Amino acid sequence: MQTTGTARNIALLPWISFAQSLLFWQAVWFLYFQAQLSAAEAILLYVVYDLAATVLEVPSGYMSDRLGRRLTLIASAAAATAGAVLLALGGGFLVFAAAQVLMGAATAFWSGTGSSILYESLRAEGRSAEVERQELVIWRVMFIALALSAAAGGAMARWSGTAPFWATALAGAWMLALTLRLREPAKDRQEYQPLGAQLRVLRGWFARPLLLWLFGLSVGLYVLGHVPFVFGQPFILEALERQGLAGEAPVISGVVSATMMVLSVLASLVAGGLRARIGLAAMLLLALAMQLGLIGALAASNAPWVIALLFLRMVPSSLSTPFIQARIQPELSDDLRATFLSLKSFVGRIVFAAALFWAAGSSNAVGKMAYGEMQVILLGFLLGGLALWAVLAMSVRRIPLERRENGA
């Protein structure tokens, strides 16, 4: 039996997501930058990454909607590979910054497009009802790859600080080879509206309570979910240093990252059942509350036992991201689908980048970050997150999260 192009897309996308998620540097990047520069410059390098992804976020969505999903994913793989190579080569702040721009571009090109090509390929095969299940499959595959690469990358860093980046470059090359085999799915509409009409459509979507609520929740989940990502490594280093174990920070960070990804996969296995029992709204608010609880714990104490709580960092994402993506997709049209999803990421990145500028100003310009500096930053994120949770919880009763999804 001959396989159609869109059926092959569905089969390839988990493997592409696996290759994309082999980020061997994830558990050591802050330690790597801080060892060569300073804590403030390490934070600023993440800001560079986030700003690059932010600036390209909406244009990449527009590119995806106009030039195609396949071409956009190929650009993502090429940028990720080049960025990892530059990070491995090093050479000072400017070289690292250029690498971060490429890594940000890779993220922006993937954002919205990966989910869009999955949904459109499923629809072309008459399998659009599978979107939630397929999103969960890809989610699990991604976090298996993240777990494996985190543990391996932490061990590699003990041997060579650049080894995790070279390994990530090889994974990027594999991703590029896989994306070249994708086929462009057919769109519902071949005639695109003028820009003014498209902007009116986007504005209309933001007038819909369902999309506005999910948009705000997604921004909050993005920002709060990245707080432990940025500050987790200096937190681990600070806690271990008090025990005379600072030299073990890369390995411990790798183990922590690997464990959090494994727990995320396990959480995704029960996420569907939990959603059926408590409902989508309760599960999404629970995910946001879990993120706030973790940030609160990190702000309350820097005792070594708190490191174990970082194991839970990605569990909220397993309970939210696949379901948000699946819920939003049927509400969007093909010609603006990736643009809307990219805009969602764009706002999250803008908010987080602004917060990191503030965080960099609260950090040492020389040397590593002290816990007292982290504590102030973490408390700021906690207070903002609590305010957002309260607004979402009070407004959720007016949002048709379940009614349309169940076909009522």
pLDDT in tens, 292-309: 999 999 888 877 777 788
Strongest mean pLDDT among 246-250, 283-287, 295-299? 283-287
What does the block give as tokens for 102? 């490429």
**408 burial level (CB within 10 Å; 0-12, 13-18, 19+):** exposed
Asked if residue 79 belongs to a domain, the reply is yes
Looking up residue 218, the CATH number of its domain turns out to be: 1.20.1250.20
Asked if residue 194 belongs to a domain, the reply is no
Arithmetic mean of pLDDT, 46-67: 80
What does the block give as tokens for 390? 């309260």
For residue 274, the surrounding DSSP H or E stretch is helix 249-278
Q: Percentage of residues in the chain with pLDDT exceeding 70?
A: 86
Judged against a pLDDT cut of 90, whether residue 342 lies above it is answered with no
Asked if residue 2 belongs to a domain, the reply is no
pLDDT, position 1? 40
Arithmetic mean of pLDDT, 68-88: 93
pLDDT, position 203? 74
pLDDT, position 91? 77
Return d(Cα 156, Cα 149) in angstroms, integer: 10
Asked if residue 83 belongs to a domain, the reply is yes
Is 32:161 a contact under the CB 8 Å cutoff? yes
**Structural domain boundaries, residue 57:** 8-182+207-398
Average pLDDT, the chain: 82
What does the block give as tokens for 327? 């819920």
Side chain identity, residue 383: L
Asked if residue 193 belongs to a domain, the reply is no
pLDDT, position 365? 47
Arithmetic mean of pLDDT, 281-301: 92
What does the block give as tokens for 276? 């059926």
Q: Model-level pTM greater than 0.95?
A: no
Asked if residue 192 belongs to a domain, the reply is no
Asked if residue 372 belongs to a domain, the reply is yes
Mapped to the 3 state alphabet, what secondary structure does 186-235 carry? CCCCCCCCCHHHHHHHHHHHHCCHHHHHHHHHHHHHHHHHHHHHHHHHHH
Asked if residue 201 belongs to a domain, the reply is no
Return d(Cα 87, Cα 49) in angstroms, integer: 12
How many domains in the chain? 1
pLDDT in tens, 251-276: 677 777 778 778 888 888 888 889 88
Judged against a pLDDT cut of 80, whether residue 338 lies above it is answered with no
Q: Which residue has better confidence, 233 or 114?
A: 114
